[in-house]
Structure 1
Amino acid sequence: MCREVDLHQAVLAKNDATAATLRAELAARGTTVVNLLSSPGSGKTALLEAELLLARDRGVPVAALTADLATENDAMRLARSGVPVKQVLTDGLCHLEAGMLSRHIDGWLPDATRLLFVENVGNLVCPASYDLGESLRVVLASVTEGEDKPLKYPTAFGLAQLVVITKTDIAEAVEFDEAAFRAHVEQVNPGVEVLLTSARGGTGIGALLDRAVATADGGVTHAPVMARQEHIHRHEHGTHSHTAGSGALAQSGS
């Protein structure tokens, strides 16, 4: 058991080092990465498509990389926006890693890209443990998923710098309790902003883009308590944390 834990820590340590290098390299060329995490069926692709269209209309140089276990359906949808889009097939792997992202953007990502949106594999467990070199980590949940989602996936929601509620146009029909959801988010990640969106109805479209642009411009992002605690733990004890992305997140707003 100890050897398995040590191996896991080594894998995450290597990923964190790669992520830090990638973050620095992209920052040097003026590119900011936005990592989007959610369960399957949250409406992540629909919202991202709307945001990419708006970015194009506003003249913001953006690109999108979307990851799935199989099919290129999401990439084909996002390509309708007219911005550079690339599909990554993970062949069964339930998450992206920093090295994978680095390899896939090498030689593909346009030099002038200001924002790179990464649509992670639909999963709130594995992706939460891997820093991709992002400067903004966003977790999305639809109104159909239940108000207790943040409590069931505390690492994913606890490390988020922004939380987005999707499909709000059907919130009343599914009896979504927004106050309860917000309370649960606050419980695992005090102070994080929660946005309301509906790709179909148009509610909140542009808010995600605005937050991403503000991050690219050097604005202060939310620093999750969980990330700060893990940051302190690593420095005090010299050990690697199981909480991925904490190095980048702990620096935000400090």
Structure 2
Amino acid sequence: MCSTCGCGDREMSHEEMHRQGLPHTHGATVDIAVEQDILSDNNRVARQNRARWSAMGCVAVNLVSSPGSGKTALLEQTIVRLGERGFRRVAVIEGDQHTDNDAGRIRRLGVPAVQINTHNGCHLDARMVAEAYDELQARDSLLFIENVGNLVCPAMFDLGEQLRVVLLSVTEGDDKPLKYPYMFAGADICVINKIDLLPYVDSRLERLKENALKINSEIRFFETSATRGTGLALWCDYLCSCLERREAI
């Protein structure tokens, strides 16, 4: 159940209606449609984020995936390899329901990271990210936003990113794009991770790509193994080129 997008049934208290400025009656139960207002406000803040990051010379990358696909591991190895090239202009916003474990992993690499805990929320929204960026104030940087592990609700929420990257591990099956079409329809990049496990799972790269292209004919693919380092050079080349041009391509 999500307290921000309303993807689960929940009873909204009278006090909460007042706090959010929602229409209501006193002494009666009413049904309130809030999705449009929530998304409208989110999109307004997302536009502000986008303009702010552009002015600060940042390229914001929204990393989305199911839990356990390897987002943090890929992010760690990306940071390491960018550092080996002398590229250290990286900042990270981490999203999880609980704990600051992932932010701690990133900070140990010498990279500034802010943790957002959403508690019963199933995704990040633009306002959360804006407040986290206030702490970072990164300039001329790759700004990674690691979203909460979920392929449903994050698809609805623009954070102001220039690049949306959906990460998919081969262990999840090659029909995942068909099961979660909205996420893949809105993604610029699909990183296919854990390809070292292909011999051991019933998943085929070409079939996965075909299914993703059915949903989004413009999506671009990178094949990686974060644990083995496979494909990371091409991935890092692409990220560096985006920052050099200050735009997602």
Instruction: Report the TM-score range of the alignment, normalised by the length of the smaller protein.
Output: 0.7 to 0.9
Which residue does the alignment assign to 2:124? 96
Does 2:107 align with 1:62?
A: no
User: 1:247 is matched with which residue?
Assistant: none
Does structure 1 retain, via aligned residues, the 8 Å contact 2:125–2:159? yes
Structure 1 residue 219 displacement after superposition: 7.0
8 Å CA contact 1:72–1:87 kept in 2: the answer is yes
CA gap 1:130/1:81 in 2 versus in 1, 3 angstroms: same
RMSD: 1.8
* Equivalent-residue separation in structure 2 for 1:43 and 1:5 (angstroms): 38
The answer (yes or no) to whether the contact 1:36–1:140 under 8 Å persists in 2 is yes
**2:200 matched to which residue of 1?**
173
Distance 1:220 1:109 in 2: 20
Q: CA deviation at 1:7?
A: 2.0
Tell me the equivalent position of 1:214: 241
Per the alignment, in what secondary structure is the counterpart of residue 159 of structure 2? coil
Q: Secondary structure at the match of 2:136?
A: coil
Q: Please tell me whether Structure 1 or Structure 2 has the larger radius of gyration of its CA atoms.
A: 2
Gaps of 5+ in 1: 223-254
Match of 2:148 among 103, 114, 121: 121
Q: CA deviation at 1:212?
A: 2.6
SS in 2 for 1:206: helix
Partner Cα separation in structure 1 for residue 247 and residue 115 of structure 2: 30
SS at structure 2 position matched to 1:24: helix
Distance 2:194 2:158 in 1: 27
Unaligned runs of 5+ in 2: 1-29
Give 1:55 shift: 2.1
Cα 1:206/1:154, change in 2 over 3 Å: same
Give the structure 1 partner of residue 26 of structure 2. none
Residues 1:80 and 2:108 are matched in the alignment: yes
**Structure 2 counterparts to residues 196-235 of structure 1, below 5 A:** 196-218=223-245, 221=248
Aligned to 2:184: 157
3-state SS of 2:212 partner: helix
TM-score (norm 1): 0.81
Q: How many residues align?
A: 219
Any idea what the Cα deviations from partners look like across 1:194-221, whole Å, max 9, x if unmatched? 1100011111113333323323333775
Counterparts of 1:56 and 1:71 in 2: how far apart (Å)? 26
Deviation at 1:6, TM superposition (A): 4.8
Question: Structure 1 pair 208/92, CA: closer, same or farther in 2 (3 Å)?
Answer: farther
**Of residues 20, 23, 36 in structure 1, which corresponds to 2:47?**
20
Once the 2 structures are TM-superposed, how far is the Cα of residue 193 of structure 1 from its aligned partner? 1.1
Q: Give the TM-score normalised by the residue count of structure 2.
A: 0.83
Identity of aligned residues (%): 43
Distance 1:40 1:122 in 2: 4
Query: Per-residue displacement from partner, 1:5-56 (whole Å, max 9, x unpaired)?
Result: 8521111111111001111011111111100000000011101100011222
Q: Distance in 1 between matches of 2:43 and 2:238?
A: 24
Could you tell me which amino acid in structure 1 is paired with residue 120 of structure 2? G
Measured at CA, do residues 4 and 176 of structure 1 come closer, stay the same or move farther in structure 2, by a change above 3 Å? farther
Task: Tell me which residue corresponds to 1:236.
Answer: none
> What is the rounded CA distance, in whole Å, between the counterparts of 2:156 and 2:189 in structure 1?
17
Which secondary structure state, in structure 2, belongs to the residue aligned with residue 191 of structure 1? coil
Residue 162 of structure 2 corresponds to 135
